[in-house]
A and B are shown apart, each in its own frame.
Chain A
Amino acid sequence: MRNYDLVVIGAGPAGMAAATTAASQGLNVALIDEQRQAGGQIYRNIGTPVLSDERVLGPDYYYGRELARKFSEANVDYLSNATVWEVSDSHLCLSIDGESRRIGFTRVLIATGAQERPVPFPGWTTPGVMTCGAAQIMLKTSGLAPNGPLVIAGSGPLLLLVACQLSRAGIEIAALLDTTPKHNYRAALKHLPGALRGWRYLLKGTRLIAELRRKGVKPLNGVSQLNAVTDEDGNLTGVCFRHNGTEQTVACSSLLVHQGVVPNVQLTRSLGAEHSWDELQQCWRPTLDTFGETSVPNVYVAGDNAGIGGALVAELQGQLTATRIAMQAGQLNAEAFAHMSRALQTQIEQQLAIRPFLDQLYTPAPEFLRPADETVVCRCEEVTAGEIRNLAKTGCAGPNQAKAFCRAGMGPCQGRLCGLTVSQLMAEASDRPVPEVGYYNVRSPIKPVTLAEVAGVHPASESLQADS
């Protein structure tokens, strides 16, 4: 088993920055990533950009080139196309091309970023309904854009960004349905003074909206009761919603939805690290010390899976946590560390100033957090919100008991697309706060892996492989 001072999981901005920083401090580092190229979702495919017109994705995307270049020059063992399916506090198991092996470490930094918040609404499983993030990934990796009547619906900065990027590419948007609840605007105002320190983000946001208006895309605000409409063959034909008290339908063959992003906590949960409920972001986040160490010694977190902060914060957190690790590994003295960490922390605080405002403004409408009874919440096992509510009302103690009773969370996505919703529904139905209701127990394997691969990491099999 190969051993490293530090293993970083995830090659987004946090992971790339952390690995680069740690290697520069003399640590023996490996970086493991699921994709074929470093960059994470934000800088997906940045090594070989696809679109010939760089204006479509804009400078924030191509900023990642420099980060990826520095990383490629760092002395790091970079394992791409590698899926981590188990992590302990001293080793992990990963799968590459259908073969699994173990890697040992002194410390591990989990930088697995965010996933889009599940957006359950009636009809969200219909082919043709995708997430805004998915559309952006297709732009970045294939130069592929929705063609034909397109509706974009939801709430959040990424919604506006993707709408802008698509319209820059000449894609017509039939309707932009903004589901941000009206009272969010008022609630967010109290955070505006603090947010002014992050004025660059505010400016970016208003510029996106102005750009959309110039292109003739006028968001419909205060939209609710989203519903995908299909023909008798199950094909997506439109989206139905309420606006200003009337029900409306817009025809479309593609519907992109979005309700913000949430930390990917599968690995930290599987390690048994402590997590807390973030009421403002309506998601779980691992409990961390100032420098990103979890409640499990030697396990660290940086980037969006520490709590949503965005790409620049992720990069800074990656540097900060790696610096901390270098000091703990004896590669950096306390004085140098204090100096470096102070500078990084100041920048992080500056970058995070906008968050309370954004989080308040883009808190999803209740219908997406706790959908109507007929809505499928577990897409894999096809369990409805009504069934979860019913279980909660009849004394089912929490999400794990509910999972055992109705199979929600037992399918191949392993609860990634229903976990938040199930906890929210049970909290609502049993009149308890979400943190009291809790979350699924997350265990190995973190991603599905063949039994042959699991069998292959047996010490006996591994030594056989080494001998052969």
Chain B
Amino acid sequence: MPTDSNFKRLPANAAAEVVIWVEGKPLKARAGESVAAAVLAAGLGPTRTTPVSASPRAPYCMMGVCFECLMEIDGQENTQGCMTTVAEGMQVQFQRGIRNVPEVEDNA
């Protein structure tokens, strides 16, 4: 996983800081930003591999159109990272290929 980011943060107005967990590692994010932006800022990714050929992908449109930023967010796979706002303690995993069969909590 590359750690030097292709993105940098410009001088910004003050905002709260939020810690999210990406692939098990803590990551400082700006309150209000999307998971996709936070992950790109940290130089992480590719954020998914495709179910068809396992080819690597990363966020592309950042506006909810392309579905390239699908990740597992708080246990829900195939969630759009660019449409999800970071929240304290949020657990993010990259989406690796086809999604798993969801677990059923109260299955008798």
Residues on A facing B (Cβ under 8 Å): 34, 36, 41, 45, 48-53, 56, 81, 83, 115-116, 125, 127-131, 133-134, 137-139, 141-148, 169-170, 234-235, 253-254, 379-382, 411-413, 416-417, 447-448
Contacts and interface: CB of A to CB of B under 8 A. Distances in A.
Contact of A129 (B37, B60, B65, B85): B60
B45 A127 contact: yes
The A interface, classified by DSSP as helix, strand, loop or mixed, is loop
Given A34-B83, A127-B45, A138-B37, A147 B8 contact: yes
Contacts of A254: 6-7
Nearest 7 CB-CB pairings of A with B: A127-B58, A147-B8, A134-B62, A143-B12, A412-B67, A142-B37, A142-B33
A51 B12 contact: yes
B83 to A, nearest CB: 7
Contact of A115 (B47, B65, B67, B83): B65
A49 B32 CA distance: 11
A211 B41 CA distance: 28
Contacts of A56: 10
Contacts of A141: 32-34, 37
B9 interface: yes
Interface in B45-89: 45-47, 50, 52-53, 55-68, 70, 78, 83, 85
A137 to B, nearest CB: 4
Contact of A382 (B13, B47, B52, B61): B52
Given A382-B50, A412-B67, A133 B62 contact: yes
Given A116-B61, A138-B62, A413-B66, A144 B8 contact: yes
B11 interface: yes
Contact of B37 (A83, A144, A170): A144
A6 to B, nearest CB: 24
Given A141-B37, A142-B37, A417 B65 contact: yes
Nearest to A48: B32
18 contacts: A34-B83, A49-B13, A52-B12, A56-B10, A129-B60, A131-B61, A133-B61, A137-B63, A142-B34, A143-B10, A143-B30, A144-B7, A147-B8, A148-B6, A379-B60, A382-B50, A411-B67, A413-B67
A177 B64 CA distance: 26
A240 B2 CA distance: 24
A416 B67 CA distance: 10
Contact of A133 (B32, B40, B63): B63
The B interface, classified by DSSP as helix, strand, loop or mixed, is loop
Given A115-B63, A133-B61, A142-B30, 15 more contacts: A127-B45, A127-B46, A127-B58, A130-B62, A133-B62, A134-B59, A137-B62, A142-B41, A143-B30, A144-B7, A144-B37, A145-B8, A379-B57, A382-B52, A413-B65
A143 to B, nearest CB: 4
A17 B68 CA distance: 32
Contacts of A81: 85
A165 to B, nearest CB: 10
Contact of B58 (A128, A411, A412, A416): A128
Contacts of A115: 61, 63, 65
A348 B26 CA distance: 50
Nearest to B52: A382
B11 A53 contact: yes
B40 A52 contact: no
Contact of A51 (B6, B8, B13, B64): B13
Contacts of B66: 379, 413, 416-417
A50 B62 contact: no
B15 interface: yes
B104 to A, nearest CB: 11
Nearest to A234: B56
Contacts of B62: 130-131, 133-134, 137-138
Contacts of B57: 125, 127, 379
Contact of A50 (B2, B5, B15, B56): B15
Contacts of A412: 67, 70, 78
Contacts of A139: 10
Nearest to B64: A34
Nearest to B14: A52
A147 B61 contact: no
A375 B53 CA distance: 15
A145 B53 CA distance: 30
Contacts of B85: 36, 81
Contacts of B12: 50-52, 143
